[in-house]
Amino acid sequence: MPVRTVAVMPNWVGDCVMALPVLEALAAAQREVHVLARPHLAPLLRLAPAVAGIVERAADDVETVRRLRAAECHEAVVLPNSFRSARLVQQAGIARRWGYRGEWRGSMLAPPVPRPRLRRRAQVEDYRELLAAMAVPPPASWVPRLVAGDDLLARGRERLERGHVANGEPLIGLFPGAEWGPSKRWPWRHFADLARALRRALPQSGQVILAGPKEIWIAVRIHEESGKIHPVIGPDLDLAGLAAVLAHLDLLVTNDSGPMHLAAALGVPCVALFGPTDARRTAPAGEGHRILDRHLWCSPCFARRCPLLHHRCLRGIGVDAVRDAALATLGSPAAG
């Protein structure tokens, strides 16, 4: 009987995607991999071949502990650094519990693993020491990968057709949101100007504006200001549905966001706009992406709102620069 391992997943979409190589390493080490995750992450994790089962976190910790006990896992690896995540697996009675020491939770882990200096490397490799402590070899690649099967591609195609997305080539996605906070959002007027600029440079292309339910107002403004030509898709989709649409894109222009990491995991090239966060840590993993970052003295500040009130780290990235990066990524003769 294989060892049944539960991985406690991060709560943010991008962090969850960046943790996928850990699940692949566990599965390659003959673990039966289960995950404890928020309900909204379940559709995404069902796309990961390494995942054998999902334990959805309940609003009530008592119910979450009950679900963990019912899963009958032999060991746990706690990926978030929070006190609460360690307490859940301890209360569930899981004997072996790996996680980084800190946040007053060392006594809840068995064993606690010394926390490395993580800011010196890409976030996708943050769990290297946890795997080593478990005697699990590292994954074959630290680049997260998701494969869109025929059913998923058909779902995305149907959604694009229902959204009246033009059948142009290339198909370009614009993602102007960032749920983490407004400081990570390139100004929506810049996105509207970019949509017009790309339409002039690539008149045969199709464009779609993507948004989550909390960012619909931004997407609608861009739709209106760019000529009401490019449809808005996404607020009604779960993460699998969003992945289905992303898989059809030839390029995504995006803020540092969860959909950026999801698109990169699906093999979609990204032009990623960075300001208050550190591209050395959270740039889209893999080849073919372009990062635009002004590297101001005040960034990365990791603040949800610009503490200096000017937001120049993102406002200073010009539309022309993003258009040129998009065209170059696509290999368009119009580049330059």
Task: Give me the mean pLDDT over the 121-147 stretch.
Answer: 95
155 shares its domain with 112: no
CATH number assigned to the domain comprising residue 192: 3.40.50.2000
| Rounded CA Rg of the chain | 21
73 shares its domain with 221: no
Residue 307's domain comprises 150-330
- State which of 133, 162, 194 marks the end of a domain: 133
108 shares its domain with 239: no
255 shares its domain with 111: no
Quick check: 193 pLDDT over 90?
yes
Confidence of residue 336 (pLDDT cuts 50, 70, 90): low
User: 240 with 246: CB under 8 angstroms?
Assistant: no
SS3 assignment, position 317: coil
Q: How many domains does the chain have?
A: 2
Residue 144 placed within a domain: no
163 shares its domain with 189: yes
158 shares its domain with 212: yes
| pTM summary value | 0.94
254 shares its domain with 165: yes
How far lies 216's CA from each of 15, 171, 210, 222, 231, in Å?
Answer: 22, 21, 9, 10, 12
123 shares its domain with 157: no
Separation between Cα atoms, residue 18 and residue 124, nearest integer Å: 5
Residue 327, phi then psi, degrees to nearest 5:
-65, -40
SS3 assignment, position 235: coil
Quick check: 301 pLDDT over 80?
no
82 shares its domain with 155: no
Residue 139 placed within a domain: no
Q: Of 166, 144, 36, 27, which is closest to residue 99 (Cα–Cα)?
A: 36
Task: Give me the mean pLDDT over the 67-95 stretch.
Answer: 95
300 shares its domain with 162: yes
Residue 302 placed within a domain: yes
Separation between Cα atoms, residue 133 and residue 26, nearest integer Å: 12
